[in-house]
């Protein structure tokens, strides 16, 4: 039997595994997947809010500057496509489909079976429209007024 074989001892293997675990945990904390996912969802909310607003403005342009009559100064929850106004939503934008929007966007995390998770209202001055995402994460405020 050859006594000069080189091999790792159990303590060396345990130390190597412990060092790897420490390094991996540091990398995971630095990357912070929860924050990254929240930022991604907020980016989608920005896109959705602008999409809704652009659809309403295209409608307005095609209708001689008139905004939909259902819009007023109160922020109303937007209904999912094909859902009637009810408990979960207060305004339907189905008239935008398919001419101005392919579908009504929904919040990536906080939409319901009835509501999209977004609100829309008009300001009292100059027919300005505000679309917002009240469930934005990371303490962000997502709203666009035009």
Residue 18: predicted pLDDT: 93
Range list of H helices, the chain = 10-31, 33-62
Q: With contact defined as beta carbons under 8 Å apart, do 92 and 55 qualify? A: no
Average pLDDT of the residues in 134-142: 89
Confidence of residue 123 (pLDDT cuts 50, 70, 90): confident
- C-alpha 116/C-alpha 113 separation (Å) is 8
Tens of pLDDT, residues 64-87: 878 877 787 788 899 888 888 887
Average pLDDT of the residues in 17-23: 92
Q: Is the pLDDT of residue 114 over 80?
A: yes
DSSP H or E run through 54: helix 33-62
pTM of the model: 0.75
């Amino acid at each position: 039997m050859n006594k000069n074989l080189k091999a790792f001892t159990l303590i060396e293997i345990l130390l190597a595994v412990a060092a790897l675990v420490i390094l991996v945990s540091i990398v995971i904390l630095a990357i912070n997947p929860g924050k990254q996912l929240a930022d991604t969802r907020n980016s989608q909310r920005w896109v959705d809010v602008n999409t809704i607003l652009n659809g309403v403005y295209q409608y307005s342009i095609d209708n001689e500057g008139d905004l939909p009559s259902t819009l007023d100064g109160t922020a109303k929850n937007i209904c999912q496509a094909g859902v009637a106004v009810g408990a979960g939503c207060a305004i339907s934008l189905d008239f935008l489909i398919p001419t101005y929007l392919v579908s009504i966007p929904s919040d990536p995390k906080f939409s319901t079976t009835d509501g999209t998770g977004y609100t829309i209202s008009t300001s009292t001055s100059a027919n300005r429209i505000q679309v917002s995402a009240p469930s934005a994460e990371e303490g962000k405020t997502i709203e666009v007024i035009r």
